[in-house]
Amino acid sequence: MGRCCTDLIKFILFFLNFVCFLIFAACLAGTIYTLLNAKNTIIGQEIEHSLSTDNPTATYFSFIIIFLVVFSFLCLFTCLGCCGSAFKSGCMLGSFIVILFVLFGGAVGAVIFLHTQYGKDGVMLVLEQELSRTAHNYKEDNILTFSFWNWLQETFDCCGVAEVDGYKIWTTSDILPVNEKVPESCCKPGEQDCMYEPNRDTAFLNGCVPKLLLYVQIVFYGIPVVMFTSLVMAFVVSSQVSRADIRRKQTRQTGPYGGYDEGPYSGCDDDFHQYSANQNENAPYNPHYEQELRSRMENAGFAIPNFNQGGRAPQQAHTPLLHEAPPTYHEAVVMRK
């Protein structure tokens, strides 16, 4: 039962890391494609490969470089967990556990820091701050922010940031064209002209924070939980691999003779058995076989070793197996004559 549970945990750890590896590999491939063909993506313009602050596309290039590093690291990290659990590699599992432990500590530290600085509603306050900051960059030439807010408001049927009258963030800024009070994405279906005089019948006026809060909390608190679960499963699989390595080492040290030095194994142990009173099921059919064999060996001049009571030869007498072999056919015929 314990072995089945351990194998199940190993499979779950392998499957989770394999799925995460595929996701991060796809994100890495998408980031590389965006870097090379930014004009054909959501960015909609070519990115100059420069970190200069005077370049308007330098922000895009900086974020792409960061994403390349992060996704490459995550691909390597999940590959360690996937291959380590599949091939029972203690080295890979050890590296995976160390990295995961550091990431888990960072995630827990981030949760503690957030609630220490902002209180129990820290997630909501940080979400409002970040959305308000990006809303002031809502311009058509800022394609990422413009597309993000249009998608967000159309998908969640919301407008602006705050829970009540969230649309007012658009009226207090000068980022919209003249006479427009809300973006077109705040309008309800069939009400394309509500941007000038929005009301609750023609537009969605409540903010997007309440609609996003639950999803953000699930991600923010779920990541440490998933890390902790993966850490426990990795410890279980690693302990099983360690025990298996210890058993293999003990087997190599004891050798085929169960306590004697292993030495060169010639296979004689399988050919010449030492029968004892406790091994009646392996005894030959002739009940007087041992007595006859001993008398014939004495007559032939062979040295008869002194066996212990258990029927096992001492260590110094076990290596030369020639005296334990039965007489040859020629010797037996000569002795009979």
**Range(s) of the domain holding residue 328:** 287-304+318-337
Does residue 117 lie within any of the structural domains? yes
Kindly state whether residues 144 and 68 are assigned to the same domain: no
Q: What is the pLDDT of residue 228?
A: 94
Are 162 and 171 a contacting pair, CB within 8 Å?
Answer: no
Q: Are residues 121 and 198 in the same domain?
A: yes
Q: What is the mean pLDDT of residues 133-144?
A: 81
pLDDT at 261: 45
What percentage of the chain carries pLDDT values higher than 90?
A: 25
pLDDT given at position 305: 60
pLDDT above 60 for 53: no
Q: Give the global pTM.
A: 0.66
The band of 108, judged by pLDDT with boundaries at 50, 70 and 90, is: very high
Percent of the chain with pLDDT over 70: 72
The answer to whether residues 119 and 222 belong to one domain is yes
pLDDT tens readout for residues 205-245? 888 998 999 999 999 999 999 999 999 999 999 888 888 77
Counted domains in the chain: 3
Which has more confidence, 270 or 108? 108
Q: Is residue 270 in some structural domain?
A: no
- Indicate if 36 and 138 belong to the same structural domain: no
One domain for residues 240 and 294:
no
d(CA 329, CA 211): 94
**pLDDT confidence bin for 325, thresholds 50/70/90:** low
In a domain, 101, yes or no: no
- Which residues does 103 contact at the CB level (< 8 Å), separation at least 6? 227
Taking only the tens place, the pLDDT of each residue in 144-163 is: 888 889 999 999 988 988 87
- The Cα 96–Cα 89 span in angstroms is 11
Identify whether residues 11 and 122 lie together within a single domain: no
Whether residues 252 and 296 fall in one domain: no
Mean pLDDT is lowest, of 254-263, 288-297, 298-307, for 254-263
54 or 25: which leads in pLDDT = 25
